[in-house]
Amino acid sequence: MRSLILTRILPPNGSYRAAHGVEGCGASSREAAWSGVSETTQRTVTARWVVPLTSLRDSLRTKRFAALRCVRGSVTALGWQDTYKDQVKATALRKSIPICTFLVLLLPACSLFSPEPVSSSFETMGTGATLTLAGKESSKLSGAADKTKQLMQDLNAELSVYRADSAVSRLNAVAGVRPLEVPEHTRRLFELSKVYGELTSGAFDVTIGPVVDLWRPVKGQTPSLPTDDALTEALARVDFRQIQLMDGAAFLARRGMRVDLGGIGKGYAVDLAWRECRNLAVRNFMFDLGGNVRVSGESESGLAWSIAIRNPFDRSATLARIEMPDDWAVATSGQYERFIEIEGRRYGHIVDPRTGYPAAGLAGVTILAPNATMADALSTGLFVLGPKRSIPIVKKTGAEAVFIPDKQPAELWVTPGIRSKLTVLIPAKVQVLPGW
């Protein structure tokens, strides 16, 4: 086997260069200088790269095999293919500085051979959407972005409870009075919402609208806790089984019922966008709508797309990264996104339909699922149910989950299938979901 000599790693210098284009990385970085000798050519080559530490950690924990593929690409160019391949293979599972250096050196090198992903962002459905395409498909970006944007706008016009003329608002207005024709997507979403309602024994309930409204801040008013009477009255109007579906129409069987698709609509929208991109012959992309993400194919040079989970205890920081299975989706629910502060206490926007109170006990739930509608509905529903009662549902659906209890220091309770795909970026205990 040919040999390779690693010389040194320099101390952090504060500068920064993204090693692989998909992810934004933190500010901390390290300059690595490396030098190697090829036995074949007897040439000494030195190289110097500045990489973010987050990428370094990613490389060590999750990107080993992807890195190997990159390695081959870049190493071929230097004429050292076997050396890299053998040595990385031999020691990849050990955390060693030399191997760090290998990967630090080689990941940036691979970006020389694979064009960076390109992305287009727009506002829709009250949040931000980003379509990212692998660089090799960059020419399809603007066409696909225009199409998905239009789709999202049309869907929002059907579903939004903030628009009086949307199909959902018009149906809410005649609850308990008469059925109303509803467009196809709205009808389909009602069907799916009922499925997830049953699956979660009512923890996920899209008729939660009247209760959610009690926890919304009202402009110009000091927030106060809803009274028990108000909660009891609102809860009497909550029951997803009272959504009756008939040919092309829907009927909300109780007066005062209000459907709120906030817990599932974005996921459904992501699936629509995903299908549209595939229909447009885009194969390698990621679509993100307010944290509801679905991926397709690979990012560059065979790397799986990876997504970040924000730290629920420090929203400016990333808690972990997850390498996404092909075609899968991910969604996260947490009370930190939207909440109301009453007498110094925070109350979140995800409500437990059993009590009428915001669900408590967890800081966040992340669900990976084969489609984004499922990921979205389950992340909301399982946030309410809590880890223990969620286990049978996770097993039944084949989804993967990360539960973050609402206590510090942070802990991650995960399904066994997600462990190898997870890179935790802060000091946190990771364990298999208790009771699994």
By CB under 6 A, the residues from 329 to 368 that bind ligand AMP are: 333, 349-351, 353
Q: How far apart are the first and last CA of the chain?
A: 46
Instruction: Provide the minimum distance between the beta carbon of 235 and ligand AMP in the complex, in angstroms, as a whole number.
Output: 11
Residue 274 token pair: 């995903």
Q: Does 237 bind ligand AMP (CB under 6 A)?
A: no
Which strands make up the sheet holding 306-311, listed edge to edge? 306-311, 314-323, 422-424
| 144 versus 375: smaller Cβ distance to Mg ion | 375
Among residues 29, 379, 390, 415, which is the contact residue for ligand AMP, using CB under 6 A?
379
Q: Does 208 bind ligand AMP (CB under 6 A)?
A: yes
Instruction: Provide the minimum distance between the beta carbon of 324 and ligand AMP in the complex, in angstroms, as a whole number.
Output: 18
Instruction: Provide the minimum distance between the beta carbon of 376 and ligand AMP in the complex, in angstroms, as a whole number.
Output: 5
Sign of torsion over alpha carbons 100, 104, 105, 109:
positive
Residue 38 token pair: 């090829």
> How many residues contact Mg ion, by CB under 5 A?
4
Write down the H helix ranges in 280-425.
372-385, 387-397
Q: What is the CA radius of gyration of the chain?
A: 25
By CB under 6 A, the residues from 411 to 430 that bind ligand AMP are: none
Residue 184 token pair: 């196809």
Instruction: Provide the minimum distance between the beta carbon of 332 and ligand AMP in the complex, in angstroms, as a whole number.
Output: 8
Helix (H) or strand (E) holding 311: strand 306-311
> How many residues contact ligand AMP, by CB under 6 A?
17
Q: Does 258 bind ligand AMP (CB under 6 A)?
A: no
Closest residue by Cα to residue 100 from 59, 45, 52, 49: 59
Rounded-to-integer distance, Cα 25 and Cα 21, Å? 10
Among residues 23, 298, 376, 400, which is the contact residue for Mg ion, using CB under 5 A?
376
Q: Does 263 bind Mg ion (CB under 5 A)?
A: yes
Please calculate the CA angle 152-157-161 and round it to the nearest 5 degrees.
Answer: 115
Among residues 23, 158, 260, 288, which is the contact residue for ligand AMP, using CB under 6 A?
260
Is residue 231 within 8 A of residue 211, CB to CB? The reply is yes
Q: Does 380 bind ligand AMP (CB under 6 A)?
A: yes
Q: Does 382 bind ligand AMP (CB under 6 A)?
A: no
Q: Which residues bind ligand AMP (CB under 6 A)?
A: 204-206, 208, 212, 260, 262-263, 333, 349-351, 353, 376, 379-380, 384
Q: Which residues bind Mg ion (CB under 5 A)?
A: 263, 376, 379-380
